[in-house]
Amino acid sequence: MARRFLKFVSFVIVSALLLALVAIAGFRTAARVREVDDRVTLAPANGRLIQTISGAMFLQEAGPPQGLPVVLFHGTAAWSELWRRTITALAASGFHVVALDLPPFGFSDRPGTYTRAAQAARVNDALKQLGVAPAIIVGHSFGAGAATELAMRYPERARGLVLVDAALGLTSAPTATPAWLQPQWVREVLVSLTVTNPLMTRTLLQSLLARKDRALPEYIDILQRPMSLRGSTPALADWLLYFTSADTDALSTVRGSYSKLSGKAAILWGEQDSVTPLAQASDLKTLLPNAAFVTLPGVGHIPQIEDPEAFNAALLGLLKDM
């Protein structure tokens, strides 16, 4: 009887593992089947491509060309359109807004190298091609690393720097990508289960928000729009190596670099942020003692969609002092 029971348990365990493997393989296959569209079909018609030293960068512009330039850097898995309400508000106030798609997200080319220095170099090249005067650089979440790197490496491009719920990695020890994530196929499976899986978009977005109800259909649609681009899952699997390891060559990971920033700086943070908690903003303020510091009550890591009116009003107030 005991032997029969053990055989049954073994059968159940093996069957469960096989079913799990089939399900995982199914998600990767589904991603391959789903990712068949091209940029021309999906990208907003009002955006355009700018050639850089490492491929074309997609961006959207709004507002008067002679207005003070404001360059918007989005966070992880987002793209320029997630700034839509902010773009509209800034343009209406007379700013010349440039919202970028940081590769491999959105509709920019995917060159395969995603260090902060590489991102800063391609953005610098794009702004040079545009002929944009020194701009106020606004960086959100993981995109704040590239934004800060741009201001540090190319100070002539940055009139000022606004850091929004910035994921800069300044309060934790550097880490390496775990060994189990090194194989490409493992990263592709993980990405196909999460970031490029449309069934997970709402869940992942809500995990970043204090106001869960703000995971609105319009934002889900925006985040899902580039997912069907050819090769999205392999491209994001490449990026995952950079996301999970320390960017040790970046100036923006060195605490002493912040005292050398030229131009005005500001810090704008959601008080209920559980991804980059408010303590990180307070620490950043010690590195930028002259920076304006504004917190937004009741919102979390993505304040520009959790409370667009309050966020845009706060950002406009900071910009007008820069």
HEC sequence for 168-189:
CCCCCCCCCCCHHHCCHHHHHH
Long-range contacts made by residues 42-46, C-beta under 8 angstroms, separation at least 24?
42/107, 42/225, 42/226, 42/228, 42/229, 43/107, 44/81
Q: Which two tokens stand for residue 196?
A: 């490029």
Question: Does some domain include residue 25?
Answer: no
In sequence order, the 6+-apart residues with CB closer than 8 A to the CB of 24 are: 189, 193
- Report residue 189's pLDDT band, with 50, 70 and 90 as the boundaries: very high
Instruction: Give tens-digit pLDDT for 152-176.
Output: 999 999 999 999 999 999 988 778 8
In sequence order, the 6+-apart residues with CB closer than 8 A to the CB of 14 are: none
Question: Does some domain include residue 199?
Answer: yes
Mean pLDDT within 128-147: 96
Mean pLDDT of the chain: 90
Question: Does some domain include residue 175?
Answer: yes
pLDDT-wise least confident of 170-184, 247-261, 307-321: 170-184
CB 91 within 8 A of CB 97: yes
Question: Does some domain include residue 27?
Answer: no
Question: Does some domain include residue 203?
Answer: yes
- CATH number of the domain enclosing 221: 3.40.50.1820
Rg (CA), the chain: 21
Is residue 177 predicted with pLDDT exceeding 60?
A: yes
Question: Does some domain include residue 169?
Answer: yes
**Cα–Cα distance list, 280 to 165, 285, 312 (Å):** 9, 9, 22
Angle at the Cα of 78 from the Cα atoms of 313 and 182, rounded to 5 degrees: 140
Nearest residue to 239 (alpha-carbon basis) of 57, 114, 143, 119: 114
Instruction: Give tens-digit pLDDT for 196-211.
Output: 999 999 999 999 999 9
Mean pLDDT within 208-228: 97
- Determine the pLDDT at residue 25: 54
- Report residue 305's pLDDT band, with 50, 70 and 90 as the boundaries: very high
- Report residue 246's pLDDT band, with 50, 70 and 90 as the boundaries: confident
Strand partners, 47: none
- Determine the pLDDT at residue 19: 41
C-alpha torsion 303→308→314→316, nearest 10:
130
Q: Which structural domain range is residue 208 located in? A: 39-319
Is residue 9 predicted with pLDDT exceeding 60?
A: no
pTM listed for this prediction: 0.91
Is residue 215 predicted with pLDDT exceeding 50?
A: yes
Q: What are phi and psi of 196, to 5 degrees?
A: -95, 10
Query: Around Cβ 96, how many Cβ atoms within 10 Å?
Result: 21
Nearest residue to 229 (alpha-carbon basis) of 39, 3, 26: 39
Mean pLDDT within 172-197: 90
Question: Does some domain include residue 96?
Answer: yes
Mean pLDDT within 8-15: 35
- Determine the pLDDT at residue 173: 79
Instruction: Give tens-digit pLDDT for 13-62.
Output: 333 333 444 455 565 676 676 888 889 999 999 999 999 999 999 999 99
- Determine the pLDDT at residue 16: 38
Question: Does some domain include residue 289?
Answer: yes
pLDDT: is 36 or 82 the higher one? Answer: 82
Distance separating alpha carbons of residues 148 and 168, to the nearest angstrom: 9
Mean pLDDT within 265-288: 97
Range 49-74 burial, b when 16+ CB lie within 10 A, else e: bbebebebbbbbbbbeeebbbbbbbb
Instruction: Say which residue the tokens 């309060």 belong to.
Output: 171
Number of domains comprising the chain: 1
